[in-house]
Amino acid sequence: MSITGRLLRYFAFVWIFVLSVGTFYESFAHNHAFFLGFKQAAIKTGWYMPAFYCHIFASSIILLVGFFQFSKKVYNNRQLHKALGKIYLFGVLFIAAPGAYVMTLFVNRGNGVFASFMLQNTLWIASTLAAFLLIKNGKVDEHVKMMRRSYGLAFGAVTLRFYILLFHVFGNGVNFNNNYIIIAFLSWVPNLILVELINLYDKTTYKTV
């Protein structure tokens, strides 16, 4: 791997680690009081909090598991790769993505933001399920490419918070005009474009796992 590639991986891992650890810390220590202060109407429905915790906890684990799945050492360890793959699959399809759907119903940021999160979540489920079906049919190269798409969409949780931070530090925050809709699409569309470029130029033939 090139120096640039290594630096990007390290950068990604740092953000994933910070997000994951921060999620657990905030949940147990502060209960996300600031964020949830804007969600009182949603909380009163009884649907939001279970979905919220399912999504944030599962997503934290999924991001870490998915990151190591692209490691050669993990990929070449058949049993470990399969075990982590099952955790990723189950976490996305049955916990994180369903939770995200419920949370999206209470976004209250306009139709554009609602559409962005719904589309991202649907593509996340579709790509994850497609990756599973591809590997079941022995199509390893296609499976790897599809998993990149799935993880690129999962990584949107990281890039979303990164852009929110940038908009607060260098801009007018997320409430200024249409900033949030820009951030919503910016969090995952460039990820998929990058994945497609990687898939296009990757000529590796992957062995069956």
Residue 153, pLDDT score: 97
Greater confidence (115 vs 161) lies with: 115
Average confidence (pLDDT) over 44-54: 86
pLDDT range class, residue 38, cuts 50, 70, 90: low
pLDDT range class, residue 98, cuts 50, 70, 90: very high
pLDDT per residue as tens digits for the range 123-176: 999 999 999 999 999 999 999 999 999 999 999 988 888 888 887 777 666 665
Residue 48, pLDDT score: 85
The whole-angstrom separation of Cα 90 and Cα 61 is 11
Residue 176, pLDDT score: 57
Residue by residue, DSSP assigns 31-83 as TTHHHHTT-HHHHHTSSHHHHHHHHHHHHHHHHHHHHHHTSHHHHH-HHHHHH
Query: How would you class 195 by CB atoms within 10 Å of its CB: exposed for 0-12, middle for 13-18, buried for 19 or more?
Result: buried
What is residue 103's three-state secondary structure?
helix
Residue 159: closest CA among 179, 182, 181, 186 = 186
Q: How far apart are the first and last CA of the chain?
A: 21
Q: Which residue ranges make up each domain of the chain?
A: 3-201
Residue 45, pLDDT score: 83
* Angle at alpha carbon of residue 23, lines to 19 and 28, rounded to 5°: 155
- Contact at 8 Å (CB) between 84 and 68? yes
Residue 25 pLDDT > 70: no
